[in-house]
Copies of this chain bind each other. A is one copy, B any other.
Amino acid sequence: MKKIIFLVLLLNISLNYSQDDKVIKSIFDAGFTKSKAYSWLDYLSNEIGGRLSGSYEAELAVKWSKNELDKLNFDKVWLQPVMVPRWVRGPKEFALIETEPGITFNVPVAALGGSVATPSVGIKSNVIEVQSIEQLKELGKEKIDGKIVFFNRPMDPTFITTFTAYGTAVDQRALGALEASKYGAIGVIVRSMTLRTDDFPHTGGLTYGALPVSKRIPAAAISTKGADKLSSLLKIKPDLKFLLRQQCKQMPDVQSYNVIAEKKGTTYPDEVILIGGHLDSWDIGDGSHDDGAGVVHSMDLINLFNNIDYKPKRTIRVVLFMNEENGLRGSLKYKEIADKEGINHIFAIESDAGGFRPLGFSFTCNDSNFLRILEWKKLFAPYFINVFIKGGSGADISNLRKDYNVLSGLRPNSQRYFDYHHTEIDTFDAINKRELEMGSSAVASLVYLFDKYGLND
C-alpha cells in the first residue's frame, strides 16, 4: 500500500512537471501567434511617441493604456493619481567648438533631464576635460573656475552586461553638474552613456542635490563622436572655446497617474502578483525599448493567459508606473497606497531592460525561495531563457521588497540596449517582433509558476 502511495506521489509530481512544461509551451506558442505586444507598442511608439512625465504625450499614454486594459477581462482598471515633475526641453539644444574665431565645429548635444537652461545667448568658455569626479578635487577651483567641465570617461566595454558597464560611468551624468559647480564651473558636458561611437547624444537624469536654484549650472550630454572630436581638438588647442545653448525649464508639478489593472485570484485573492513597467519615457525618441517594451510585456500577460484559458489563483495586478525616468513619483505613490491598503505582494516583476531577446531573470529574495526558483530553471531551458541570478528587480518595484517575498527583473540580451537608451533612435524600428514576444511569454511563464505554487514557506 505504501508502495502504491509512493508511486502515486511520484506520478503526481511528474505529472505536475509535465503539465508545467506544457502550459509554458502553450504560453510561448500564444506569444508567437497571439501576442498583442508588437501592435500595442506600434501605437504607443508611433501614434503617441516620447512621453516624459507631465507631457501631453504622457497624458495620452495614460488614457490609451487604460482604454486597452479595459478591453481585457480584468475585474477593475483604474488610474491612481500622482503629482509629477514637469521638465521641458524647449527648442533643440545647440553646441559648437570654436578653435579660433570663425573656425567652429557643430557637435550634437542634448540637455540632461532636470538641467537648468543657459542664458538665451548660451554659455561660451574654455573647456577642462576630466575623467572622473575625483579629478575635480585634484584640479581645484583655480583650474576649473569659469570653465565648462567636460566629463569624458567612457563606459568600460569589458563588462558582459552593459548595465554594469553603464554603472562604471553614469556618476558623471548624475552628479557631474552638482560636483563641478562646487569648483566654479559654469557648465558641464558629459560623454554620452553608450558603448558605440556615433552621433546621438544620450539624455538622462541628473541631480543638483540641495543646491539652490541660483547655483545650478547647465549640463548636457554630448554624442560619443562629438566627445572624441572635442577631446582630440583639446589636445591641439587647449584654449578652444565651447558654446552651449539650451532653453530647458522646470515647470510646476502636474497631475498624472499610474495605470493599474487587477484580476482577483480565484483561490488566494489576498496574495497579489504584480507585473509592471513604466509608462513615461524620455522625450527624444519614442521610448520603444525604455520602457514601451515593459509596458506591453505587462499588458500582454492577461492577453496570453486568456488565450490559453488560464484563470489565476492569485490576484494579478498590472501596474504601469508614471515618472520612473525623472522622479520615481509613481513608484512612491503606489507603495504609499499599497501600504495603506495592506496589499500583500508575494511576487513582483518589472520589465525595464528593453525589448530584446530575454536571457533570464534576476531575483531579489531569500535563499529558500531562490532554491525553489532554481528548480524552475529547467522549464525555461527549452527557450534558452535560463539565466537565473540574484540581482536587482526594477526601479519602480524595488521598494515593495519584504523579507518573505520575491522581486524579479526580466533580463533581456543587453548588448544593443545602450545603442538606443535615452536617444532619438530609441524607436519602434529598433524592436524585433519575435524578441518582444518572447519577453511577454517569459514574464507570463514566470507569473504562471508563482501563481500556481505561491511562495515557499
Contacts and interface: CB of A to CB of B under 8 A. Distances in A.
Interface of A: 28-29, 32-33, 157-158, 160, 162, 195-196, 357, 359-360, 382-384, 387, 413, 415-416, 419, 432-435, 438
Given A359-B384, A415-B357, A434 B195 contact: yes
A160 B387 CA distance: 16
Contacts of A382: 160
Contacts of A413: 357, 413
Nearest to A156: B32
Contacts of A160: 28, 382-384, 438
Contacts of A415: 357, 432, 434-435, 438
A413 to B, nearest CB: 5
- Of the candidates A357, A359, A419, the one having the most CB atoms from chain B within 10 angstroms of its own CB is A357
Given A28-B158, A32-B157, A419-B432, A384 B357 contact: no
B432 A157 contact: no
Nearest to A418: B434
Nearest to A359: B384
Copy count, this protein chain: 2
A65 to B, nearest CB: 26
Contacts of A438: 160, 415
B435 A416 contact: yes
24 contacts: A28-B158, A28-B160, A29-B158, A32-B157, A32-B158, A33-B158, A160-B382, A160-B384, A160-B438, A196-B433, A357-B357, A357-B415, A359-B384, A360-B384, A384-B387, A413-B413, A415-B432, A415-B434, A415-B435, A415-B438, A416-B432, A416-B434, A416-B435, A419-B432
A193 to B, nearest CB: 15
Given A359-B359, A416-B432, A416-B434, 15 more contacts: A28-B158, A32-B157, A33-B157, A33-B158, A157-B434, A160-B383, A160-B384, A160-B438, A196-B433, A357-B415, A384-B387, A413-B413, A415-B432, A415-B438, A416-B435
Q: Which 4 A-B pairs have the closest CB atoms?
A: A32-B157, A29-B158, A415-B434, A415-B435
A434 B387 CA distance: 20
A29 B384 CA distance: 24
A162 B357 CA distance: 13
Contacts of A162: 434
Contacts of A432: 415-416, 419
A153 to B, nearest CB: 15
A157 B38 CA distance: 15
A29 B33 CA distance: 39
Contacts of A33: 157-158
Nearest to A29: B158
A17 to B, nearest CB: 19
A359 B360 CA distance: 12
A372 B435 CA distance: 32
Contacts of A435: 415-416
A35 to B, nearest CB: 11
